[in-house]
Amino acid sequence: MSKLNVAVVYGGRSGEHEVSLRSAESIIAKLNPDRYHVHRYFVSPEGKWSPKAIQPEPGANPEIDVVFPITHGTFGEDGTMQGLFELADLPYVGPGVMGSAVAMDKEVAKRVLRDAGVPTVDFLIQRRGGLNPDAIIDKLGLPVFVKPANLGSSVGINKAKTRESLIAALDEAAKYDSKVVIERAIVGREFECSVLGNEDMSASYPCEILPEREFYDYEAKYILDTTRIELPANLDEAQTTTIRKLAVDAVRALDCEGMSRVDFLLETATGQFYVNEVNTLPGFTSISMYPKMWEHSGIAYADLLDRLIDLAIARHARHKATQFRR
């Protein structure tokens, strides 16, 4: 049986560039060498490809059977890279163009989830050049979370407890995106749940994130070694069932396939779960929770990579069966 040629695309023009490098190395180390031949495609922070770029033309990349993109964040997770693979007529791991784009934009994702009946936290949108802290305080009060609309790994996110810290948080978020999302701060607990599948989806057992910092920010995720993880999460059976169902509901609502990690908040006062975010190319570093949750749920890291590649090929075959011309 001949090996599949897997193009691992990593790096990219994003604030999550360094995380992408670590994810890629973990994936490459775990891809079964008896089944796959790995081709590296590195994208620099300036957007330069090495050793060469994937060509946006069917048949122009004969050395590639399937693409495994692990370009977290903007220009990689937001549908732009996925559009390139579609033009090239290549199977690729993770959600398609629309699901990737919708999930990446926190405002659009929240609106879609809300319309689908998936609980989301109250929020406001402001734009660079029109930031108004008083309007936020009048509507949502304090504290609030302030986020760039299109970014991940908690880059540019801050919790604001005072008007002064809110102004600083708005200014920082606006450096990363012209659109800023402001959310009511939830007092409670943080959870994550992994989702796998195309038409048929399943959710892993969830984990609880217990950061020692104010919240699960970039430093807590990737630099400091102080965050505690409880896997499985300390939830009763009904809560576990609820969070797993909501995870699949959220992924379906955003039209995502392949893989996604859904982040949750559980409000202490009400017992309500809220979907905080859907990550379509979640981290695959040695400490990333997407593969760890599946490992706890019975799928080892290397087997998970096999499944994701198989899902990519199956979706591409389904897509190829669609007629695009009269």
Is 32 labeled as catalytic in the residue annotation? no
Is 263 labeled as catalytic in the residue annotation? yes
Pairing of strands 273-279, 158-160: unpaired
Catalytic residue, chosen from 26, 208, 283, 288, is 283
Is 79 labeled as catalytic in the residue annotation? no
Is 219 labeled as catalytic in the residue annotation? no
Phi/psi of residue 146, nearest 5 degrees: -120, 125
Catalytic residue, chosen from 77, 190, 208, 263, is 263
Integer Cα distance of 200 and 258 in angstroms: 10
3-state SS class at 191 = strand
Integer Cα distance of 309 and 196 in angstroms: 12
- Largest Cα–Cα separation, the chain: 65
CA angle 71, 74, 80 (to 5 degrees): 80
Burial of 302: CB neighbours in 10 Å, binned 0-12, 13-18, 19+: middle
Pairing of strands 207-210, 188-197: antiparallel
Catalytic residue, chosen from 277, 288, 297, 315, is 277
Catalytic residue, chosen from 153, 194, 276, 297, is 153
Is 2 labeled as catalytic in the residue annotation? no
Is 16 labeled as catalytic in the residue annotation? yes
The type of residue at 158 is: N
Is 36 labeled as catalytic in the residue annotation? no
Is 177 labeled as catalytic in the residue annotation? no
Catalytic residue, chosen from 158, 194, 260, 279, is 279
CA atoms within 13 A on the CB side of 122: 12
- Closest by CA to 311, choosing from 66, 8, 11, is 66
Residues in the chain: 326
Determine which helix (DSSP H) or strand (DSSP E) holds 147, and give its type and residue range: strand 144-148
DSSP string, 11-45: E-SSTTHHHHHHHHHHHHHHS-TTTEEEEEEEE-T
Catalytic residue, chosen from 10, 261, 274, 290, is 261
Catalytic residue, chosen from 12, 14, 15, 16, is 16
Active site members: 16, 153, 222, 261, 263, 277, 279, 283
